[in-house]
């Protein structure tokens, strides 16, 4: 009996859907098959283990009864040589069906993501290095101080230096601490940067600036135990659903308020939404086949030694999914919560479960629609409710929450929540920080940008989809505009990839629609959804800079490509220590047709952050995101059928003449 046959004997596993994440048993089986195939050594590590997802066509076949094999995608990294190999493992047949050795020693290079154990190894290597210890002594640190110091490993970036090309490296900066619980970011050690080769386990380059800037020593701790005067006037806020939540969960499948979808999760992207559809009368209408955040980049605007190279690609270089938090009721999530535990692989290829990694709950969201008709006294109002599916990842000093919202009127929203602790820079006494904002005495915060890219494999009513671009324009005075009040909406159909790469424009109100020209709405137009974006700054690094080459996806707000299973990530497959030129700018060089075909809509959005005192010691949440709203998709307001709330107090007007006197806050006929 094969490993997979044993798995299939389990009644629970036998009901696996082709898009369900790998189970713990499948993860263990996949890694065991890789270990046993003779192409890896016992010292290999497993930075990536995930489901190799079936295509749309394969899923359609499965829906008609065709069985599909369960495939796993596994990356094995040899810790002693740095060699990395991709494997496709057929779990149904218990065999490896494809193998690819990564050309990470050749330009443009690229490495699998950094693993947690490598963070710890990096700190050990740095602290044992005599050059680093001498640099610390020059800054007044004792041997005890060095042991207590916090060494932050950072993805290195790439600047075409000998010790970067084809090497598995990290850069590391240092922070002073007196106590293990101190907020080390209040005490940066400026002018010392170590470059660590993780394969050869040594420091291969050390910057020790001749100019010694004193380490800021003022404590800025934030733990609850440090707060000696907490607020005492916050009253309890209880959220109760005595009849339970309105959603239904069947394994990884969710139904809620006419919405249906499947939850997925990968080590790189974290939360994935599959087969997002809306029940419109008797028809379940597909909208998005797959949606996820595939990449981030955080470039810094300080050109000095400690900061110019900082440009973390938090998904591709670390893995948002691998760094997901275990969420806590009442803190991260409030209300009647459903948690998803995520099966994962550790670096040795052993399966484990990430507890409470994804949270799902309902929220009241104010008014959904309302009207008071004073002529006949008809008063109708409905409250909005939304479904929240979320996870949080901590990547070094920053914490990122990713919240997908589904609304009863067919709206889809993604909101990124940015919090945590800013990167800091020591400043000479009496001077101002030139590359950002001062946040405390002798302490600056470098200006930087956060970019996210969401990939949406569209499936509007199935079949071919098209993207159109729209913007408003004034109409000149004339016989057709005698009062000067008329203005126009200019529209164009995007036919080729290069036509579609674009930047939002707040002045013209530029927006985009995804349509299906093969499916017409109630007024004879193609059904559509509107992409609503914020016209925030795109990447501000100069053309020709290494970070711009590596993070080219952040130079445009919108990209459209035809679906290609090899084009999964906005920055390319392996951005870690990559020379650049991969990802979306590379994909669209082919200038393929994107009209009435199977398309992927990519949206880059973010936040440009000039640091201020209010951002320290912990930054209040900043928000970034976008919406997809139905635009000619439905025949009418799809939320018209929501019933009034019950058991609400009467709404009575204090004004007698012409006032509404409703028997409830939601409806009076």
Checking DSSP bridges between strand 436-440 and strand 443-446, what pairing results, if any? antiparallel
Which helix (H) or strand (E) is 84 found in, with range? strand 84-90
Which tokens in the block code for residue 48?
């990536």
Angle at 468 between CA 564 and CA 289, to 5 degrees: 40
Using alpha carbons, list the distances in angstroms from residue 110 to 105, 106, 595.
Answer: 8, 9, 33
Query: Alpha carbon of 363 to those of 231, 245, 336, 423, 456: distances in Å?
Result: 26, 10, 10, 33, 24
- Residue 398 annotated in active site: yes
Closest CA to 542 of 301, 258, 222, 282: 301
Please tell me which residue in 185, 398, 400, 403 is annotated as part of the active site.
398
Cα–Cα distance, 277 to 285 (Å, whole number): 5
Query: In the β-sheet with 436-440, what is the strand arrangement from edge to edge?
Result: 425-426, 443-446, 436-440
Q: Which two tokens stand for residue 295?
A: 């990449």
Give 302-314 as a DSSP string: --STTTTT-EE-I
The rounded distance, in Å, linking the Cα atoms of 221 and 182 is 6
The whole-angstrom separation of Cα 547 and Cα 575 is 11
Calculate the alpha carbon distances from 137 to 130, 133, 144, 425 in Å. 10, 6, 11, 19
376 Cβ partners below 8 Å, 6+ apart? none
Please report the DSSP string for 538-597 in residue order. ---SPTT-HHHHHTGGGG-SEEEEE--TT---TT-S--EEE-S--SHHHHGGG--B-SSB
Pairs from 130-136 (Cβ < 8 Å, separation ≥ 24): 131/194, 131/203, 131/206, 131/208, 132/174, 132/192, 132/194, 132/203, 132/206, 134/208, 135/192, 135/206, 135/208, 136/174, 136/189, 136/192
Catalytic residue among 314, 582, 598, 615: 314
Distance CA 421, CA 603 (A): 26
The Cα–Cα gap between 575 and 334 comes to 36
Question: Where does residue 518 rank: exposed (0-12), middle (13-18), buried (19+ CB within 10 A)?
Answer: middle
- How many other C-beta atoms lie within 10 A of the C-beta of residue 607? 18
Strands (E), 251-350: 253-256, 259-266, 270-280, 283-299, 311-312, 338-345
Q: Which residues have a Cβ under 8 Å from the Cβ of 334 and sit 6 or more positions away? A: 239, 361
Contacts with 358 (C-beta within 8 Å, 6 or more apart), sequence order: 263, 265, 271, 324, 327, 339, 340, 342, 389, 390, 391
Which of 663, 636, 645, 668 shows the shortest CA–CA distance to 371?
668
- Asked if 314 is an active-site residue, the reply is yes
SS3 (DSSP) at 141: coil
The position carrying tokens 């030129």 is: 581
Contact, 576 vs 313, CB < 8 A?
Answer: yes
Pairing status of strand 558-562 against strand 599-609:
antiparallel
Residues linked to residue 407 through DSSP beta bridges, in sequence order:
386
Q: Which residues pair with 436 in a beta bridge?
A: 446
Alpha-carbon distance 571 to 579, whole Å? 11
- How far apart CA 280 and CA 545 sit, in angstroms, is 49
Show which residues are catalytic: 314, 398
């Amino acid at each position: 009996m094969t490993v997979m046959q044993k798995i299939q004997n389990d009644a629970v596993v036998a009901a696996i859907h082709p898009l369900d994440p790998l189970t713990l048993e499948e993860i263990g089986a996949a890694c065991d098959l890789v270990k046993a195939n003779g192409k890896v050594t016992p010292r290999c590590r497993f930075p990536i283990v995930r489901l190799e997802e079936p295509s749309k066509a394969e899923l359609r076949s499965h829906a008609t009864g065709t069985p599909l094999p369960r495939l796993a995608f596994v990356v094995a990294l040899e810790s002693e040589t740095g060699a990395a190999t991709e494997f496709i493992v057929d779990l149904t047949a218990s065999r490896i069906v494809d193998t690819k050795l990564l050309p990470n020693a050749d330009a443009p290079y690229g490495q699998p993501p950094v693993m947690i154990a490598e963070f710890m190894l990096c700190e050990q290597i740095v602290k044992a290095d005599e050059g680093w210890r001498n640099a610390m002594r020059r800054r007044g640190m004792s041997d005890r101080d060095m042991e207590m110091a916090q060494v932050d490993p950072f993805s290195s970036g790439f600047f075409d230096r000998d010790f970067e090309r084809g090497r598995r490296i990290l850069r590391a900066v240092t922070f002073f601490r007196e106590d293990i619980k101190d907020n080390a970011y209040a005490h940066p050690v400026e002018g010392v940067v170590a470059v660590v080769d993780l394969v050869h386990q040594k420091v291969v380059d050390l910057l020790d600036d001749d100019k010694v800037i004193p380490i800021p020593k003022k404590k800025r701790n934030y733990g609850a135990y440090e707060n000696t005067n907490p607020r005492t006037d916050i009253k309890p806020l209880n959220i109760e659903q005595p009849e339970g939540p309105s959603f239904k969960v069947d394994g990884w499948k969710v139904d809620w308020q006419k919405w249906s979808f499947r939850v997925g999760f990968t080590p790189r992207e974290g939360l994935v939404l599959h087969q997002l559809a809306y029940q419109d009368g008797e028809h379940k209408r597909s909208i998005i086949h797959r949606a996820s955040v595939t990449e981030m980049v955080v470039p810094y605007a300080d050109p000095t030694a400690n900061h110019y190279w900082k440009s973390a690609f938090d998904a591709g270089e670390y893995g948002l999914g691998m760094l997901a938090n275990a969420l806590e009721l009442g803190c991260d999530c409030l209300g009647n919560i459903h948690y998803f535990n995520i099966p994962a692989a550790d670096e040795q290829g052993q399966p484990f479960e990430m507890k409470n990694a994804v949270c799902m709950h309902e929220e009241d969201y104010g008014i959904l629609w309302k009207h008071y008709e004073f002529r006949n006294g008809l008063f109708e109002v409905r409250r909005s409710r939304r479904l929240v599916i979320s996870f949080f990842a901590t990547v070094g000093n920053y914490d990122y929450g990713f919240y997908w919202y589904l609304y009863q009127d067919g709206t889809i929203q993604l909101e990124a929540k940015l919090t945590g602790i800013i990167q800091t820079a020591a400043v000479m006494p009496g001077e101002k920080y030139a590359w950002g904002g001062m946040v405390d005495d002798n302490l600056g915060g470098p200006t930087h940008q956060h970019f996210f890219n969401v990939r949406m494999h569209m499936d509007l009513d199935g079949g071919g989809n098209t993207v159109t671009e729209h913007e408003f324009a004034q109409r000149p005075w004339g016989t057709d505009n005698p009062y000067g009040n008329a203005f126009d909406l200019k529209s164009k159909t995007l036919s080729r990839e290069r036509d579609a790469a674009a930047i939002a424009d707040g002045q013209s109100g530029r927006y985009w629609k995804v349509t299906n020209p093969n499916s017409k709405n109630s007024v004879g137009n193609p059904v559509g959804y509107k992409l609503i974006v914020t016209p925030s700054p795109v990447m501000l690094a100069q053309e020709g800079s290494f970070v711009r080459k590596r993070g080219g996806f952040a130079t445009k707000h919108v990209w459209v490509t035809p679906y290609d299973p090899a084009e999964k990530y906005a920055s390319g497959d392996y951005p870690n220590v990559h020379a650049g030129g991969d990802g979306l700018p590379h994909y669209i060089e082919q200038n393929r047709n994107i009209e009435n075909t199977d398309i992927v809509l990519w949206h880059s959005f973010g936040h440009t952050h000039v640091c201020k005192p209010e951002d320290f010691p912990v930054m209040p949440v900043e928000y970034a995101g976008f919406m997809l709203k139905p635009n000619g998709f439905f025949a009418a307001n799809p939320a018209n059928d929501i019933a009034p709330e019950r058991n609400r107090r009467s709404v009575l007007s204090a004004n007698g003449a012409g006032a509404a006197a409703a028997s409830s806050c939601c409806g009076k006929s």
